[in-house]
Structure 1
Amino acid sequence: MQLFGWDLKSLWKTSNQKRCLALLRAERLAEAHEAYRYMIDMSDEAMLASCPFEQECSALYSSNGDTALAAKSYDTSIQLYSVAIELDSANDTIFAKRCKAKLAKMLWEDALLDAQKVR
């Protein structure tokens, strides 16, 4: 959609991506995930196909999960890795990291399920 020469669809996508990244970097993770879900729900297939944003968000969640895991904050790391997996389920490394956090919490069956997804 164009208005006065501006591509409103592209502007909407860019502004929502920047909002989500800003929330992530401010460590407002729940709000960032909510903003991301809203953007996905409101996007059409063409917009989703042209959006590398999922990998960027997944990498940030995974990185924050690594920090939480190193600090032995296992519940937080499991939450962060879970969101990263939701965004990029093809990444085996995130499953392995979440498995490690679940093992530390003695969640044996859940850890096994994650371990089975690692190739």
Structure 2
Amino acid sequence: MHVDNLKDFNLKYAGNVITSYQINLTEKQLKEIEKTLQKYIKDPETYSLLGNNCTTVALSALIENNIKVNEKTPAISGSRFPMLTIGNVTNAGGFSPSRLLGVLGSSLNSGVVSEIKRFRIARQ
């Protein structure tokens, strides 16, 4: 699942539908999130669909940098993953793409997310 650059990303995901989120950030917030993501790149840990995945990293980077996101329905209690609550978001060990969409697409976060687009990666 790891890609190092845009060309590799386009080759790997050609034909797939991607969701893009435009997050309202100050220049300072953007720089801090970039630093956080650079740490993930240097030490990505072990990938897991149910835990450490791209959507978990994306939402965690927002939360770690105090970008206020809220969740309508917290994770189900008693799931097999440890519950982690940062701010108003409860993380049951990982976020699926659909759960990320549920959080970032929620009207509760309309001040944070200004646009959500879905598009298909063109085949080369």
Report the TM-score, using the length of structure 2 for normalisation.
0.25
Larger RCO (CA within 8 A; separation ≥ 6) = 2
Report the TM-score, using the length of structure 1 for normalisation.
0.26
